Amino acid sequence: MAFPPLVTPAASLSDAERVRTARQSRLTEIAEIGQLRLAAARVGVLGAGGIGSPVTLYLASAGVGTIGIIDDDVVERSNLQRQIAFGTADVGRPKATVAAERVRALAPDTRVIEHRTRLTDSNAQELLGGYDLIIDGSDTFDTRHAVADACDALGIPLVWGSVLRFDAQVSVFWSRPSAGSPVRLRDVFPEPPAAGTVPSCADAGVLGSLCGQVGSMLVTEAVKLICGVGEPLLGRMLVIDALSGRSREIPLAAPSGPGRLPLVSPAELAALIAEAPVTLLDVREPDEYADGTIPGARSLPLGTLLADPLAVELTGTVVVFCQQGPRARAAGRALAAAHPGADLRLLAGSYAAWSASFAPSGGLS
């Protein structure tokens, strides 16, 4: 789906900036009017690390007029394998400051704002409120959710990416899009996973070049939104497997018409279970599963499922559920795309409806 341009064009470009961006403005989809929109754009970048480093450089090279860099960390030698804005001489210096220097050297007309502070739930809206869109290059789940919540409240697009080992995910979330239906990060990942359940890059490792690939893709999504060209990834998630050299797209927006997965009520599910074996997939987090689930259900957290839906074995009738419904819908769409013809259904109201109908003291056991 095409979107109208996010940004009103600037009045003019300097002669030096016009020459510097000439090869990009020759693209008919962007042209001079698109370059003027980029010059007027204000983009906030959360994190100047593995993803944020290439993001800041490519935003500057594209001609984005204002770039805000939010990072309270300093450069460490172990960062240099993937954080390409930094060199060995920068070890110990603030990342936001070094990244800002690189941007100014690359694009002198670009205004850079350094936010040398840690983003939290309490300051997120204040930090992000002056920008047209946000690119999230952070590396902790709590921060990602704080950024997403602030963007939802402000109504601005969140261009989002994640990298771990050889795997990556890229998408766009927007609570008040100028076209189409809203898709929020919490529709897919309602809560950060419990501490210790997902390894960090320091524990599991990360391919540096994949960080660069994802950073470049995030800037491409930002340029498309700013200029109103192409089809942004809102409602879709691109999943990259660098080891196999394959990528696949997972729909996140609710489909309409005959493509919608059928619903089964708690009572209907109880009848199905009584008649024949049913595969029950609980796509909530492990701690939610441990607190209570439908008897016989298999725990398959949404993040694990989305990483490789082709690897999920489906037998007979498959009923997917989460706590309220959004994660189950995302899981169902991914499974339907990966397993055409599978008998997939969603539990209406998900586990909340089931537990209300079949309390532990009675009903199905």
Catalytic choice (151, 211, 227, 322): 322
Residue 322 is among the residues annotated as catalytic for this protein: yes
d(Cα 160, Cα 144) in Å, to the nearest integer?
9
93: β partners: none
Q: Which two tokens stand for residue 280?
A: 């029950």
β 111-115/66-70 pair status: parallel
Q: What is the dihedral of CA 142, 143, 145, 151, to 10 degrees?
A: 160
96 and 127 Cβ atoms separated by less than 8 Å: no
Closest to 219 measured CA to CA, from 136, 325, 108: 136
Distances (CA, A) of 84 to 72, 99, 109, 146: 17, 10, 22, 26
3-state class percentages of the chain: helix first, strand second, coil last, to nearest 5 = 40, 20, 40
Amino acid residing at 258:
P
Catalytic (active site) residue 201: yes
* 291, two tokens: 């607190």
**Phi, psi (degrees; rounded to nearest 5) at 297:** -75, 145
d(CA 73, CA 52): 12
Strands 133-136 and 158-164: parallel
Three-class SS of residue 36? helix
* Interatomic CA distance for residues 156 and 92, integer angstroms: 34
Question: Phi first, then psi: what are they for 75, rounded to 5°?
Answer: -70, 130
DSSP 3-state assignment of 14?
A: coil
The residue whose two tokens read 């060199």 is 87
* 151, 201, 211, 227: the active-site residue: 201
Where do runs of H (alpha helix) occur along the chain?
15-20, 22-25, 31-40, 52-62, 95-106, 124-128, 141-154, 185-188, 201-204, 208-227, 266-275, 286-291, 302-307, 326-338, 350-357
Structure tokens at 140: 């902790």
Active site residues: 201, 322
